[in-house]
Structure 1
Amino acid sequence: MSTPPTSSGPQLRSFASTNRFLTEIASPSSLRPGYVLVGDEIFLYDRCRKAVLSTLVPEDFRDFSLHDLDLSETSIFEALDRAQTPSLMAPFQVLFIRNIKNLYGRGSKKEEFAAIEAYFRSPNPQALILFVADHIRIPTDVRRMDYQDKERFDRIRETLGEWCGTVELARVDENDAVRWIADTAESRSVRFDPDAARELADSLGADMMLISSEFEKLLLYVEGKNRVTLGDVETMVLAAKQRSLYELTDAISAKDRPRALALLHGLLNASDGGEDAAIGHLYMLARTFRQMLIILEKNVRDSRAIWQALWQGFRMPPFAAEDLIRQARRYKSRRELTRALRLVARADLELRSSPVNKVLVLERLVLDLCAEPKSSLYEPSMQFAIEM
């Protein structure tokens, strides 16, 4: 799915570096012979790439003028030779060079950097080289950059940065993501309610690639009424539903019965299946309590350790990691969490037995989960909880 056009102006700090890049490539007088795109924010990289192609590479000439090279397969000498050689078939050449971490591996690479320096001292004016450094992660707050990433970035500045412009593809700030949603919707003649934009950004952890994809789905969903509400986001975006569930387990772990019941009804009202979605909510509750049980057993204390403790396919969305660690630590022992799993298993058995009112089953479950443990509640089997 194509990325929607952005209306991000200079007031959005997260887009400032890419905005400067887009301004430079739009004018031959400001275009540099090379750039380094540093960072793993795919949305911003995609934005830069599309701008380069639309500005410098006519669609009819792309087979002859666009080159995607990988330094694990092609040497830097061959890439530079290709850039230096004028094309007989196209007026301009663009080279995207990936895996530049190979330039900074073992050995001094003196010959490689000497060749790069020689090229940029006399570059081909009809060519643009874009080095892609997507092995570096730049957080929203650069002061929190990992030491190893910072060291890698400094080496790029000291070498390629001497000849090339640097474009930072840092993670997008959450407030900027919210503004992007509202501004881009407005440019498409759609009103995106502020609380809906905030929920979309929050539930997807400000991941702009996911946000842009869900944004398009929402605009299709509201076609005709041209307005996106909080309810639309909660209905259409899976992560928003998961977010509501983590809020429910937060209230349960805090023993806050009124808030837990209110959140339960909010989940049911937002579900496509209404009461019939109850089994799905129980599955997610069981999964979440199992995650908390492992977090407690392995004494996980920060979000980095959580990815080692939980295996692939059994992890929570990134936005929920810190919340779930905090919730797990509210339980004093493994016994309390196994009790919660037994209660969920009992409710699951009751729901599958076609009760008169499924909502009452879920309400009783939430009240029991919020209550202090009693010895009689440890008697049922764990079989159903394990299956869930």
Structure 2
Amino acid sequence: MDISRGLRAVAKLRGIRAGRHGGAGPARAPVCVITGCFSNAFEVKFSEFRQYQPKQSSNVFAFVCEDDFLLEESRPVWQRIFGGNWVFEKYSAKEFEEIPRGRLMDEALTPSLFTQNRIFIVTNAEKITKSRLDDVTAVQGVAHSSLRIVLRTSSGKSIDSWGKIFPIIEIDPLKTTDIARWLIDRYKLAPEMARYLVDNIGPDLHQLNTEIQKLQTYVGAGRAIEARDVDVLILRSEQFGPFELDDAVLARDYKRAVQVIGAMLNDGVDPLMVLARIVRVWRQLFVGKSLVGKRSAKEVAAVALVPVWKAGDFTAACKKFEWKQLAGGFRLLLNADRAFKSSTPNPEGYFDVMLWKMMK
């Protein structure tokens, strides 16, 4: 997602320069803030957004954020921005549409001495009707409102016009390296362990948080989380070694790959986690193939994040795959991701067909 959209600002946000992405500190998602009436755009990291205070008050904000976990992480920020004590209520766009206009205005106009201040978080807010947007605009105009509204959307493309009414804060999705850094900062993980978790569990912050809590309980306070803990507790690969699936894909051993995946699925591993592992190997092949013949086997393995003792086998495998095959494989993996997230195909059968197409 392009968060600038040609609106680079030259102003400062409470001493934080717009567009600053470098420097030390925890890795966070950059944000674009559109304020005022409302032409200025500010790009800051999520960690800087935590300190953000609008120069002018607003009862309504649009919050463009793809990740549900980051949405929950933003709640303390809204509390601080709005000041005082607030109770959060979360609604889908459909549920929000069903709230009578009179109730919205009552919530906004009733003095806080006689009611609890409320923050409505509305998900899929891009789906609200023009009539409901008019109601929200009316709430925006209430002085000292006891109701504040956060309109959460997953994309900023359809809400550009909202910036003329109230501020828009847009969070750019975290990249894989940013997510790994987030794990290092939040859970004090070793860098290689953080990357291993992202590669095998996927980039969803909520799922990563849940699985790390399981791992912390599993290992206890006495030692750090290791790759074998992920393999045993999450990937449930006791029957096979941690590199069995990787090796099968690299060797284009369709029968072995299907066997390993079948065992993982039978042990209860989520299909999306299995898919993430295949994606990781395919990405390694893509990186490795671009470097084979230009660098040594050990250097290729290091860049592709492959164990050094597998360098020779890995570079040999890279030579066996054609660029057209790798590109086609990425399309198949993308289709699989969409299928598992939007429908309920038979996982084992789906992987069987997909792997056959990728390795033929």
TM-score category by the smaller chain?
0.5 to 0.7
Unmatched tracts of structure 2, length 5 or more: 1-23, 32-43, 279-327
**RMSD, aligned α-carbons:** 4.6
TM-score (norm 1): 0.52
Question: How far apart in 1 are the matches of 2:333 and 2:127?
Answer: 30
C-alpha distance in structure 2 between counterparts of 1:114 and 1:92, whole Å? 21
Percent identical pairs in the alignment equals 18
1:40-67, CA deviations, whole angstroms, 9 ceiling, x for partnerless residues? Answer: 3111011012543588687xx76xx444
Question: 1:232 maps to what in 2?
Answer: 229
- Aligned-pair distance for 1:203? 0.8
Amino acid at match of 1:132: R
Higher strand fraction (1 or 2): 2
Alignment-derived partner of residue 195 in structure 2: 198
Report what 2:75 is aligned to.
49
2:237–2:264 CA contact under 8 A, matched in 1? no
> Is the 2:90–2:121 contact (alpha carbons within 8 Å) kept by the matching residues of 1?
yes
| Counterpart in the other structure of 2:99 | 74
**Map of 2:186 onto structure 1:** 184
Distance 1:249 1:180 in 2: 31
Structure 1 distance, partners of 2:110, 2:119, is 12
- Alpha-carbon distance in structure 1 between the residues aligned to 2:182 and 2:237: 18
Structure 2 partner of 1:167: 169
Show CA shifts across 1:125-156 (max 9, x none).
Answer: 554221122xx3x5xxxxxxxxxxxxxx2331
Question: Aligned pair 1:328/2:359, yes or no?
Answer: no
| Residue pairs, 1:109-148, within 5 angstroms | 109=130, 111-133=131-153, 136=154
- 2:207 paired residue number: 210
Match for residue 314 of structure 1?
346
Cα distance in 2 for partners of 1:14, 1:324 equals: 39
CA distance in 2, matches of 1:177, 1:239: 23
The normalised TM-score by structure 2 is 0.55
Letter of the 2:118 counterpart: Q
Alignment of 1:9-28 (within 5 A): 9=25, 11-13=27-29, 16=44, 18-24=46-52
Q: Which runs of 5+ in 1 are unaligned?
A: 1-7, 139-152, 187-191, 268-277, 293-298, 333-388
Partners of 1:194 and 1:157 in 2: how far apart?
38
For 1:43, give the aligned amino acid. F
1:95 shift after superposition? 2.2
Change (3 A) 1:219 1:93: same
Q: Is the 8 A contact 1:193 1:229 kept in 2?
A: no
In the aligned structure 2, how far is the partner of 1:113 from the partner of 1:79? Answer: 12
Asked if the contact 2:126/2:158 (under 8 Å) is kept, the reply is no
Specify whether residues 234 and 185 from structure 1 end up closer, same or farther in structure 2 by C-alpha distance, changes over 3 A only: same
Contact 2:122 2:149 in 1 (8 A): yes
Structure 1 residue 13, shift from structure 2 partner:
4.0
Aligned residues: 259
Q: CA deviation at 1:220?
A: 2.3
